[in-house]
Structure 1
Amino acid sequence: MAHLGLVALLVREYDEAIDFYVGGLGFELVEDTARPDGSRWVVVRPPGARETALLLARPSSAEQRARVGDQTGGRVGLFLYTEDFARDHARMVAAGVRFLEEPRHEAYGSVAVFADLYGNRWDLLQPRSTE
C-alpha cells in the first residue's frame, strides 16, 4: 500500500524554518543534508509520525519566492493532529506560535487555526473520539 511520504513547504530560509518547526511546533528534525547546488534537504515531522513529514524547501525562482506563505491561497492547508489539544495549544502559545482564533469545539473535534512564520494557515486539531 502506498502512503504520502513528504509534503514540500516553501520557506524563506532553512534555519529560521527549522527554528519555528522544531522550536515552536515541537517537530523533530529528521534530516538536514547539504546538496551540491547549495540547497539543503531538510525534513521535519511531528514527534511519533512515521509516514508523513515536511520537506522544507527554499525557493529557486522568483515565482516560487512569491508563493512563500501563500501556497494554499489563504485557506488552511495543513492539519496538525493532536491527542491532547489543550496541552499542545498551551505549549505552542508559550513558544510564540500565533493563533488566529480562539480554540473552538466543533462536531468533528477541538480546533484552532494558527499561522506559521510565513503566514501559511494550519489547523491544530484533536478529532472527536469515535469510540
Structure 2
Amino acid sequence: MINSLALISFLTDDYDKAIRWFQTALGFVLLEDTDMENGKRWVRMAPHPTAETAFLIAKAVGEQVDYIGRQAGGRVGHFLFTDDFDGMLARMQNAGVTFREAPRNEPYGKVVVFEDLHGNPWDLMQPTKT
C-alpha cells in the first residue's frame, strides 16, 4: 500500500485574496479553482504544478472563522522548503511579507519565521545538505 498526503486545508475569509497572496508572496501556482455553487469553491494551490502536496484554500464559515490566523495554535504550522533561500526571501520582502525575525543559521539549515496573510507563522527553510 502506498499512501501520500494530498491536501492541507488553509482557512481564509476570501478565496481571491488568498490566491493572490500565495501567488505573489510565495510564487505558488493555482492548480484548480472550481465553482461548487452557493459561494463555495474548490481551490488548490501548490509550490509548483507537480507538487505531491497542495493547499486546499477553504473559506471559513461559522465557528471556523475564529480559527483564521490560528490554525496551528500560534505555533509554526507550515514549513516551506527552498533551494534558493536568499532569492525567496527577497521575493517575499518585495511582496510585503511580515517576518518575525532575522534569518538565522541552524544545524538543520537556514531559516526565518514569516507570517501568511492571516498572521499564521511559517518557516521558510533551506535545509542543510547532508
Q: TM-score range by the shorter chain?
A: over 0.9
* Correspondence list, 1:1-131, <5 A: 1-47=2-48, 49-61=50-62, 63-130=63-130
Given residue 26 of structure 2, which amino acid in structure 1 is its aligned partner? Answer: L
Q: CA deviation at 1:47?
A: 2.1
How many Å separate the matches in 2 of 1:80 and 1:53? 12
Q: CA deviation at 1:70?
A: 0.2
Structure 1 vs Structure 2: percent identity of aligned residues? Answer: 50
Contact 1:9 1:56 in 2 (8 A): yes
TM norm structure 1? 0.95
How many Å separate the matches in 1 of 2:105 and 2:41? 39
How many Å separate the matches in 2 of 1:37 and 1:83? 41
List runs of 5+ in structure 1 lacking aligned partners. Answer: none
Q: CA deviation at 1:97?
A: 1.1
Contact 2:31 2:49 in 1 (8 A): no
TM norm structure 2? 0.95
Q: CA deviation at 1:48?
A: 5.2
Runs of 4+ aligned residues of structure 1 deviating over 3 Å after TM superposition are none
Q: Deviations over 1:27-77 (max 9, x none)?
A: 00101111023200111100255210000100121x100000001111100
Q: CA deviation at 1:91?
A: 1.0
How many Å separate the matches in 1 of 2:39 and 2:12? 15
Aligned length: 129
Given residue 51 of structure 2, which amino acid in structure 1 is its aligned partner? Answer: R
Given residue 110 of structure 1, which amino acid in structure 2 is its aligned partner? Answer: K
How many Å separate the matches in 1 of 2:97 and 2:42? 24
